[in-house]
Amino acid sequence: MSGLLLKSANLIQSETVSFIKCGDLSLITFIKCDIIGLIGAMAGVPPQILLDGDSLFTHFKGALTEQYVLEELTALGLSPNYWSPDNIKAEVEFLLQIGTMICPLEAKAETNLRAKSLKSYIDRFNPRKALRVSMSKWSSGERIDDYPLYAIPEAIGNLIRNNNG
């Protein structure tokens, strides 16, 4: 199992330009970098559950989706963090620093786009743009752009272009 840990993501509770200086290293979330199927095998999830969409898969698919997004972001050269407010059981899975812009990214495993944590982050910090990736189609809103999971490179490319121009 050694060598599979990609990195830990720092918990961020305030918005600053540099995550490196404000991350609370005592509160980290570990995410394995590896093939999604291997994670399922390590967890003992029978392949048929993944293929059939069994109700037991409901909880696990969120973790697999977050893992997939992390691998995509890492492949793009990003080092995401995550955000969780004090005393509230909520989190935004990924905070991205693009130049001087900090962008929250919420990952959803289904087409249900309710994201209370993302809304809480937006209300608190008023980022220029937030991203949400899911099984839904692309759409652009005033504050949140939605992308299908397979289009994460396009989402990040658009974010970089819009930040530079």
Query: pLDDT of 56-86, one tens digit each?
Result: 566 677 878 888 899 899 889 998 888 887 7
Lowest mean pLDDT among 9-13, 30-34, 88-92, 127-131: 30-34
Output the CA angle 47-135-19, nearest 5 degrees. 100
* Res 25: pLDDT: 47
Identify the pLDDT of residue 52: 65
Check whether 107 has a pLDDT greater than 90.
Answer: yes
Statement: residue 42 has pLDDT above 80: no
What CATH code would you report for 5-164? 3.40.1350.10
Is residue 9 scored above 60 in pLDDT?
Answer: no
Which of 25-34, 85-94, 143-152 comes out lowest in average pLDDT? 25-34
Q: What proportion of the chain, given as a percentage, has pLDDT over 70?
A: 66
Which string of DSSP letters, residue by residue, matches 94-137?
EEEEETTEEEEEEE-SSS----HHHHHHHHHH--S-EEEEESSP
| pTM, entire model | 0.72
| CA quadruple 147, 152, 158, 164: dihedral sign | positive
Mean pLDDT of the chain: 76
